[in-house]
Amino acid sequence: MKKRFLAALIVSLGMLVACDDSSSASSDNDKELSSSSTEKSGNSEDKSSSSTEKSSDSKDASSSSKKEDNGEYKREFATAIASGETMFIGTMSLDHTGDLGKDYIEVGTRAGVVYYDNSLFIADLDVGTIARYSLDANNKIGSKTAELSLAGAWANHIYFVNEEKAYLGGMLDSLLIINPKTMKRTGAIDLSKYKGDDALVVSPGTGVIVDGRLYVGLLQNVSDYATGNTAQVAIIDVKNDSLIAVAEDDRVAAVGSLDDSQNQAFIVADGYIYCYSNASWGYAPGQVDGFLRIKVGETEFDKDYQWLVTKEVAIDGITKKDNFKYLSPTTYANGTKVYSFLNVMVDLQQVWTDMDSYHNNTCKPVEIDLAKKTMKALPIDYSSSWASYGKYLDEDGTVIFAVSTEKDGNAYFRYDPKTEKAEKIADVKQIPMWLVPLK
């Protein structure tokens, strides 16, 4: 049953499927992804040209150009790209997007990636392994240093307490305690008594540690596609690994996701933990989607706050109230504002029919104010749902979106909230996915 559930969930998320010519890597790109290509960066011609200019620094400039051609430049993000039904995870720089697809770790049809302690933790969900990879001085992926095997289990939610202690959640009836240095199990917190009557598994998914407590959503998967009808958050004391309470609320369906390796369906802002329910991506008719919140330090949901996205959000020219829609995981908060993609299939008169549906351009970049319960569309074209997880809030307040659009192809955009303008900053051959900062 678990294998069938995992396969079906992969189909329902639709993140890794064969791509059409307008939005994916070609067969030539497939070859590039599966080889350790030594081709020069797409920017190498400009750098070579500039290095021939006559100046006192010309020798140094030429030397720097050669180093960057050899991949010796600082990488800023971990990311994922795909070719056909295979995913590749690596590190990248927005100044060298021509190098995407080189020196990447090949995994199966679905994977998660997390950065911590100068290492990447890559979960290959097809085979049920989570491996730790070292990074060099330029954040290029090095060797595998440790690995944990969980055959048959979808588990890619890691909540780090310190360098030698972390919790691991996923399609499990417990919350595992691991040593992230060795990737060895050191204990577990049994959650099986909280499994719903119809649930296949408790599934601790999205979570966040705040003030010595882990808040983690219990998804209660009841079928191949659907999660539970009730929001549940287990609250754990990370000092003594004890369960403090389980907060429950039936105003929305299960909060969090098994697909959210960056744990961004829980947002810490303004002294609250905002918890988001995507209502099983629309596969469970009657479920309610939206945000609830828990005040940091408390053990119950705030009874005075709810924001039901489908029922309450209308954006001119984008979506109507009561048309089902859902958000991808958000960026971290800037005040109470976050950034995401709003999937508006129904408004565009589209539905999930097969795996190719996930290449349809139905996801609109949006800015969200969680406290004010407002949402606005941004001046970036609709992206495919496959490329709706890549977004990053920079230190200067601007936001980077990774997109796969009909108008602009596969690209990275930077949006400036001050000017309310967006600018394409890089093109890329492959469909870009996550943007995980390496810091």
Give the Cα separation of 64 and 392 in Å (integer): 28
Give the Cα separation of 377 and 206 in Å (integer): 25
> What distance, in Å, lies between the first and last C-alpha atoms of the chain?
39
The tokens describing 243, both together, are 């369960």
Print burial letters for 87-124: b (CB count within 10 Å at least 16), e (below 16).
Answer: bbbbbbbbbbbbbbbbebbebebbbbbbbeeebbbbbb
Single-letter amino acid, residue 433: M
pLDDT digits (tens, 9 = 90+) for 389-433: 899 999 999 999 999 999 999 999 999 999 999 999 999 988 898
- Of 202, 193, 205, the C-alpha closest to 220 is 202
CA torsion, points 424, 428, 429, 435, in degrees to nearest 10?
A: -120
- For residue 87, give Cα distances in angstroms to 104, 106, 156, 211, 340: 9, 6, 15, 35, 22
Q: What is the pTM of this model?
A: 0.84
pLDDT at 256 over 60: yes
DSSP string, 405-435: ETTTEEEEEEEETTTTEEEEEEE-SSPP---
What is residue 29's predicted lDDT score, i.e. its pLDDT? 40
Are residues 360 and 351 in contact, defined by beta-carbon separation less than 8 angstroms?
Answer: no
The tokens describing 399, both together, are 């936001």
The mean pLDDT of 357-366, rounded to a whole number, is: 88
Q: How many CB atoms lie within 10 A of CB 384?
A: 28
DSSP string, 179-215: ETTTTEEEEEEE-GGG--TT-SB--EEEEEEETTEEE
pLDDT digits (tens, 9 = 90+) for 203-249: 999 999 999 999 999 999 887 678 999 999 999 999 999 999 999 99
